[in-house]
Amino acid sequence: MKIAVRLGSWLAAALLIGLGGLYMPDFYVTLLNYIGLYALVALGLVVLTGVSGITSFGQAAFVGVGAYTTTVVTVNLGLSPWLGLGAGLIVSFVLALLLGMITLRLSGHYLPLGTICWSVSLYYVFGNMSELGGQLGIGGIPPIEIFDWTLDTGRSMYCLIWICTLSAMLLTDNVLRSRIGRAMRALKYNGEMAESFGVNAARMKLFVFIYAAVLAALSGWLYAHLLRFVNPTPFGITMSIEYLFMAVVGGSGYVWGALLGSAVITILKEVLQDILPSLLGRTGNFEIIAFGALIIVLLQVNRDKGFGLLFELFEWKPWRVEAAGKLSKPARAQSAGPLLSVRGVTRTFGGLIAVNNVTFDVTRGSIVAVIGPNGAGKSTLFSLLTRLLDLSGGHVLFEGNQVDHIARHELVRRGISRSYQHVRLLPDRTVLENVMLGGHARTDRGPFAAAIGLKSEQELQLQAEAERQLSRLGLDAVRGELAGNLSLGQQRLVEIARALASSPTLLLLDEPAAGLRHSEKESLARLLAELRSDGMTILLVEHDMRFVMGLADNIVVLNFGMMLAEGRPREVRSNPAVLEAYLGGVPR
Amino acid sequence: MTSEIVLILAQDGLVNGAIYALLALALILVFTVTRVIYVPQGEFVTYGALTFAALQRGYVPGVVLFLIITGLIAAAMEIRRATLQSSPSRSLFSASLYAGYPLVLGMTLYYITGAPKSVAMQVLVTLAIVAPLGPILWRIVFQPMATANVLVLLIAAVALHLVLTGVGLLAFGPDGARTEPLLDVGVNFGVISIPAQSIATIAASLMLIVMLFWAFTFTLRGKALRATAVNSVGARLVGVRPEMSATVCFLLAGLVGAVSGVLISAITTIYYDTGLLIALKGFIGAIIGALVSYPLGAIGAIAVGLIESFSSFWASAFKEALLFGLIIPVLLWLSVTRPMKDEHE
């Protein structure tokens, strides 16, 4: 049903646009040409800003790179426009790679500022190189030829522009619905969480950045051969801002938003340029006042969602799948000896020793709990084990291999998966999608495979695996709900389901019982015991003594960063040092 | 290149650098207190310059009308809030201030005094028109989304920049303006004569920097601003109103912008759309100070001024391209020295 709606909307759009190209008067063909060109750039921004949370004010500069490269290739060197396209894509790719490597490492707000600066810089390069015609621009760009067909009119370019735009939208839509799309959304929501499920954040950001740049360059190539003339003005900062506005207006994270946003802004601009001069009695680009005001109001009403709320109505609700095969269990080397060995682990913050020389083992198939009063260093220890913090001393062995300096996104591939004390689920995605993110590292379907629909079997297997984990935790009924609508207890279970979807050898749970009702705690304890009997090893950090005492095989007690005691629950319970720490002294 | 040219370029660079330093300061101030990356700060410079130029030519610029309109919008927003509150007196007071001040100022200028004749009064009136736009625009644009993340606030700031550029074109027209220097004498330093205006600019900028520093270190209001900058929830708990801090900080930023505009208008021709470039140069300075350190930001801005003036001698066509390209090594350096952080505030 849903797939029919999706297919239908694509066909309808293609048909409408195709018929429009045949029968519309020239004025509208021109207008739609621009909408298509802008939508291509806005599409890159939807992926970049809307989905992945990276803001760029430099897209017009990449459009310029595409346009000027093909100009140099065709006019200055006299070669074919198709070589111009290839060159433009390569140049924008390399440029985006270099700029991305420099700026993407920076925290949030430097990136947009950086993009403003280098796009202004590129603008002045375009405007001042005499080879590129300076401010006056450069003309005589040859039309594109496809075999014997010369695309020398707006109407003939119309076909090429819309084929490019619609296919880019379709391919992008496929990517956004895949494992890669889930990883991007996770990245926007919380980079650290994405990494702990195996997303290589740095590489993913770079990929998205380059993708947006290449789309912009494609738009620039089409633009140059449509107008057959380029000058620096359309590649300046104002146009970059307008592109971003298109993405914001269209709504964050939906490919159709790119089309809607570019249509709204382009038509509005056209109308305002007609009306405003007569209204104000003089000419000038006064439409920017209206644009700015519109964006401010929109941001105040619903932040950066724009008209995206409209698309949410048509969002994908998961239907059950029949997968042909099961997702294979990751093959991991097993070693003799304890699964996890914590050896003399120490962490200092300045003069403060938060974790001091902690040593313990976690044997295969057991539940080990780390407990201690507030400020004992439990959370720090947890962060050390999950690579959120670097060790100051000691080391951590997993399956006999040192894991205290590997990349954060590697941990889950080794078989260590975690839950969060403060729930980190994507609140506006479905429960099923959240759990599928957990299986990210077990699958390898890349963006190109996803774009053209290869390896779709793997996606189905992953969904089946996620559903299996959901029904194991009794969450069948809420699989299609948005994660943000669940109760805290259910959200914690979803966190565990997500961790289980990665098929871990070791499950790290950060205060899983915090904030749960009594009955919820009991069922959680039953569930963990069940997982243990299936052979899972669990290490949990917990506050609640009673919860831990009945469940854990082994307990490690921390106080002031030091190990106070270690042993079976019964031993720990009667340990005078533990009683002292918890109760403040033992009556003699 | 002779030593004379070096001196002249250095002097040019220092003067521009001093103005960029003022901007960098305002940008850091606004960012640390309210997390807004205040792109429209450049428009306050152009508004200051063009208002001053209009007053010198003897007419009251249309921006006064803009002040009145935005003041009324802000007042309307305050009144709407007052209707939702149990004790609306504070909102009503704000509303009367937002509406009253621009109206009184506008009526006086349009119907009673006209453009003032003395230079000192012209400067004062310029500041009186431009600076209050800071808090008014904050109230309209940023206050309703004060809890949004940095990137949403940045997009809003860019949108505001567009609005102000368009309004600038409406209010001042497309022609550039350059004002008479406030001080039209030169001081001889050996081989070259330095215009007194340049010295005054550097002095004024230094003075403002010292004053801001003093206010932040020793006054209660300044300490409240710093407290808001460190942790706005914590500041609220000890009785600092973040809204008050934001108002003060946008007023200061508006004032600094207007002063910069008055100073720069005698040095270079200002158009309605010059603001963004000026603000970006301030930003490069501020970024060198990593958006938090005032002294580093000021030093960075002065370096920007010097690089600008020397590169205009060697490669004048590529002056801007070079200057903005310069940000890349700075960002590279920042990216190596500052580890990546998630942006979830």
DSSP state of A140: -
**Cβ distance B62 to B171 under 8 Å?**
yes
Query: Residues 282-311, chain A: which have Cβ within 8 Å of B?
Result: 284-289, 291-293, 295-296, 299-300, 303-304
CA pair distance B34, A562, nearest whole angstrom:
41
Task: Please tell me the number of Cα atoms within 13 Å of A454 on its side-chain side.
Answer: 8
Over pLDDT 70: what percentage of chain A?
96
Backbone CA torsion sign across B87, B93, B94, B95:
positive
Does residue A90 carry a pLDDT above 90? yes
Tokens read off for B55: 């007053």
The secondary structure of B202-256 as a DSSP string is HHHHHHHHHHHHHHHHHSHHHHHHHHHHH-HHHHHHTT--HHHHHHHHHHHHHHH
Is residue B258 very low, low, confident or very high in pLDDT (cuts 50, 70, 90)?
very high
Residues of B in contact with A118 (CB under 8 A): 324-325, 327-328
Query: Residues 99-118, chain B: which have Cβ within 8 Å of A?
Result: none
Tokens read off for B162: 């567009």
**pLDDT for the residue numbered A316:** 60
Does residue A479 carry a pLDDT above 80? yes
**Cβ distance A111 to B291 under 8 Å?**
no
Residues of B in contact with A126 (CB under 8 A): none
Q: Within an 8 Å CB–CB cutoff, is residue A275 touching chain B?
A: no
Q: Within an 8 Å CB–CB cutoff, is residue A102 touching chain B?
A: yes
**pLDDT for the residue numbered B344:** 39
Judged by DSSP in three states, A336 sits in: coil
**Cβ distance A47 to A172 under 8 Å?**
yes
CA pair distance B58, B36, nearest whole angstrom:
36
CA pair distance A340, A478, nearest whole angstrom:
34
Q: Is the CB of B331 less than 8 angstroms away from the CB of A110?
A: yes
Structural domains of chain B sorted by starting position, each given as residue range(s) with its CATH number in brackets: 3-59+115-337 (1.10.3470)
**Cβ distance A63 to A223 under 8 Å?**
yes
Q: Within an 8 Å CB–CB cutoff, is residue B331 touching chain A?
A: yes
Does residue A586 carry a pLDDT above 60? no
Residues of B in contact with A303 (CB under 8 A): 145, 148, 152
Please name the member of A105, A116, A291 whose beta carbon is closest to the beta carbon of B340. A105
Is residue A60 very low, low, confident or very high in pLDDT (cuts 50, 70, 90)?
very high
Q: Within an 8 Å CB–CB cutoff, is residue B315 touching chain A?
A: no
Tokens read off for B261: 């505009």
Residues of B in contact with A107 (CB under 8 A): 338, 340-343
Is residue A317 very low, low, confident or very high in pLDDT (cuts 50, 70, 90)?
low
Q: How far is B219 from chain A (nearest CA, A)?
A: 30
Judged by DSSP in three states, A349 sits in: strand
Please indicate, yes or no, whether the overall pTM of this predicted structure exceeds 0.80. Answer: yes
Nearest CA to B209 among B16, B12, B29? B29
Please name the member of B141, B321, B342 whose beta carbon is closest to the beta carbon of A192. B342
**pLDDT for the residue numbered A339:** 92
Does residue A497 carry a pLDDT above 90? yes
Is residue A68 very low, low, confident or very high in pLDDT (cuts 50, 70, 90)?
very high
The CATH fold assigned to A340-583 is: Rossmann fold (3.40.50)
Judged by DSSP in three states, A12 sits in: helix
Query: Residues 224-283, chain B: which have Cβ within 8 Å of A?
Result: 276-277, 280, 283
Query: Residues 55-94, chain A: which have Cβ within 8 Å of B?
Result: 55, 57
Q: Is the CB of B280 less than 8 angstroms away from the CB of A120?
A: yes
Q: How far is B277 from chain A (nearest CA, A)?
A: 9
User: pLDDT of B185-195, one tens digit each?
Assistant: 666 666 667 77
Q: How far is A411 from chain B (nearest CA, A)?
A: 19
Q: Within an 8 Å CB–CB cutoff, is residue A51 touching chain B?
A: no
CA pair distance B209, A476, nearest whole angstrom:
63
Q: Within an 8 Å CB–CB cutoff, is residue A109 touching chain B?
A: yes
Q: Is the CB of B320 less than 8 angstroms away from the CB of A124?
A: yes
Nearest CA in chain A to B159: A292
User: pLDDT of B69-108, one tens digit each?
Assistant: 999 999 999 999 888 888 788 888 889 999 999 999 999 9
Burial class (CB in 10 A: 0-12, 13-18, 19+), A545: middle
Please name the member of A53, A108, A292 whose beta carbon is closest to the beta carbon of B159. A292
Q: Within an 8 Å CB–CB cutoff, is residue A121 touching chain B?
A: yes
**pLDDT for the residue numbered A14:** 87
Q: Is the CB of A107 less than 8 angstroms away from the CB of B277?
A: no
Phi/psi of residue A567, nearest 5 degrees: 160, -170
Does residue A320 carry a pLDDT above 80? no
CA pair distance A290, A269, nearest whole angstrom:
9
Q: How many CB atoms lie within 10 A of CB A584?
A: 8
User: pLDDT of A330-378, one tens digit each?
Assistant: 878 788 888 999 999 999 988 889 999 999 999 999 999 998 888 888 8
Does residue B342 carry a pLDDT above 50? no
Q: Which stretch of A314-323, A531-540, B295-304 has the lowest confidence by average pLDDT?
A: A314-323
Q: Is the CB of B328 less than 8 angstroms away from the CB of A102?
A: yes
User: pLDDT of A267-294, one tens digit each?
Assistant: 998 898 888 888 877 777 888 898 899 8
Does residue B40 carry a pLDDT above 90? yes
What are A112-116's contacts with CB under 8 Å, separation 24+?
A112/A55, A112/A56, A112/A57, A112/B37, A112/B151, A112/B154, A113/B37, A113/B283, A113/B287, A113/B327, A114/B327, A114/B328, A114/B331, A115/A55, A115/A56, A115/A57, A115/A58, A115/A240, A116/A57, A116/A58, A116/A237, A116/A240, A116/B280, A116/B283
What is the ipTM, given to two decimal places?
A: 0.89
Residues of A in contact with B161 (CB under 8 A): 292
User: pLDDT of A154-173, one tens digit each?
Assistant: 888 999 999 999 999 999 99
The secondary structure of B51-77 as a DSSP string is HHHHHHTT---THHHHHHHHHHHHHHH
Is residue B1 very low, low, confident or very high in pLDDT (cuts 50, 70, 90)?
low
Nearest CA in chain B to A248: B155
Tokens read off for A243: 């592109």
Nearest CA to B274 among B28, B58, B41? B41
Does residue A75 carry a pLDDT above 90? yes
Task: For chains A and B, count residue pairs whose Cβ atoms are closer than 8 Å.
Answer: 150
Over pLDDT 90: what percentage of chain B?
32
Is residue A315 very low, low, confident or very high in pLDDT (cuts 50, 70, 90)?
low
Q: Is the CB of B343 less than 8 angstroms away from the CB of A107?
A: yes
- Domain locations along chain A: 2-236, 340-583
Q: Which stretch of A398-407, A451-460, A461-470 has the lowest confidence by average pLDDT?
A: A451-460
Q: Which stretch of A333-347, B174-188, B261-275 has the lowest confidence by average pLDDT?
A: B174-188
**pLDDT for the residue numbered A29:** 92
Nearest CA to A326 among A469, A185, A125? A469
Q: How many CB atoms lie within 10 A of CB B159?
A: 27
Residues of A in contact with B170 (CB under 8 A): 280, 284, 286, 289
Does residue B293 carry a pLDDT above 80? no
Query: How far does Cα B272 stand from its chain's mean position?
Result: 15
Q: Is the CB of B151 less than 8 angstroms away from the CB of A53?
A: yes
Q: Provide mean pLDDT across the span B116-130.
A: 92
**pLDDT for the residue numbered A376:** 85
B114: left (phi over 0), alpha (psi -120 to 50) or beta: left
Query: Residues 158-177, chain B: which have Cβ within 8 Å of A?
Result: 158-167, 169-170, 174
**Cβ distance B110 to B102 under 8 Å?**
no
**pLDDT for the residue numbered B147:** 83
Nearest CA to B136 among B253, B28, B49? B253
Amino acid letter, residue A108:
G
Nearest CA to A440 among A498, A387, A489? A498
Is residue B204 very low, low, confident or very high in pLDDT (cuts 50, 70, 90)?
confident
Residues of B in contact with A53 (CB under 8 A): 151, 343
